[in-house]
Amino acid sequence: MNNSQLRAFHAVALHGGFSKAADRLGLTQPAISDQVKKLEESFGVLLFHRHKRIVKLTPLGEQLFEITKRKYQLEDQAKDLLSAHQALENGTLTIASDTPLNVFPLIAQFKQKFPGINIRVSFANSEQILAGLNEFTYDMGIIADMTPDKRYHTIQVSENPLVAFVSKKHDLAIRDSVTLREISRYPLVLREKGSRTRWLVEQEFEKAAHPLKIGVEVQGREACREAVAAEIGVGLVIEPEFGFDERLVALPISDCDSVMTESIVCLKEKMELQVVQAFFKSNDLPLLTEDPF
């Protein structure tokens, strides 16, 4: 076994396929396939199930992937330590966020000081972002209503109320505000399971003992906006995310006191990376927090 074979395996496992792994490593797909095949043949094992275009880790492959994640994480830390005396003139930072609202102002502040750093931004719901952090896919994430967890360095960056929004043709469009009871009379356009907005809506309706009528369940905010514009039902979103759409009207919810917080979250072991520390410092975010445990 050599490092090239192990890195090829890790890249395929991390990115979910030979083609994607080849793109990330700057190699051809046959070269990646050959490295993984040689690794398997050297030990007489099977690390991936291959069926047409589907590649899935075997149980042994999953165990090896846990080891390679730690190996390359340590390798990244070693490289960062050796270059700590130099300015951050190049490198990559991966960030995932559940909304564009908070992430881009933070990135803009960072890029003013470190323009050479390449930043990759992904958008997903909170559940998906936490999974990505734990799999080392992302360096940090911005997550709604983050529960305190000793594995993460967590800093709150915003706090916002929930608002309803409807089509301008809707019965409620002429109102200045609405109540949860009034909203409960109409079908709702709800985000997918795993969305913190969805979770907050369900909590509020359960607490108020009002029925929750689901008109349609959609994936993502844009789909929610389009469904409401098509008059399928009432949408709910945190206030800054409503933005502006001439087809829609936002309505404060007078009997809803809950707010949704947004926090920047990073695995504590990732906080040792120089580029992560630079991101926090450039945005005046503390590098240490009190441990609630």
pLDDT tens digit sequence for 51-66: 877 899 999 999 999 9
pLDDT at 32: 94
Task: From 30, 62, 82, give the residue that closes a domain.
Answer: 82
Is the pLDDT assigned to residue 86 strictly greater than 50?
yes
d(CA 220, CA 142): 16
d(CA 129, CA 123): 8
d(CA 207, CA 40): 55
Mean pLDDT of all residues belonging to the chain: 90
User: Could you tell me the pLDDT band of residue 85, with boundaries at 50, 70 and 90?
Assistant: very low
In this structure, the strands spanning 248-252 and 152-167 are antiparallel
Q: Are 67 and 40 in contact (CB under 8 A)?
A: no
Same domain (yes/no): 187, 277: no
Whether residue 198 lies inside any domain: the answer is yes
pLDDT tens digit sequence for 132-164: 999 899 999 999 889 889 999 999 998 999 999
pTM above 0.75, yes or no: no
> Quick one: DSSP state of residue 172?
G
Q: What mean pLDDT comes out for the span 268-288? A: 90
Q: What ranges in the chain are assigned the alpha helix state H?
A: 3-15, 18-25, 29-43, 59-82, 100-113, 126-134, 180-183, 196-207, 221-229, 239-242, 274-282
Task: From 82, 113, 129, give the residue that closes a domain.
Answer: 82
Same domain (yes/no): 78, 115: no
Same domain (yes/no): 254, 179: yes
Same domain (yes/no): 18, 75: yes
Instruction: Provide the percentage of residues in the chain whose pLDDT is more than 90.
Output: 64
Residue 253's CATH number: 3.40.190.10
Residue 17's CATH number: 1.10.10.10
180 is in which domain, residue-wise? 159-260
Whether residue 292 lies inside any domain: the answer is no
Whether residue 293 lies inside any domain: the answer is no
Task: From 82, 100, 123, give the residue that closes a domain.
Answer: 82
Q: How many domains does the chain have?
A: 3
Q: Are 196 and 98 in contact (CB under 8 A)?
A: yes
For residue 273, what is the enclosing H or E element?
A: none
pLDDT at 277: 92
Whether residue 287 lies inside any domain: the answer is no
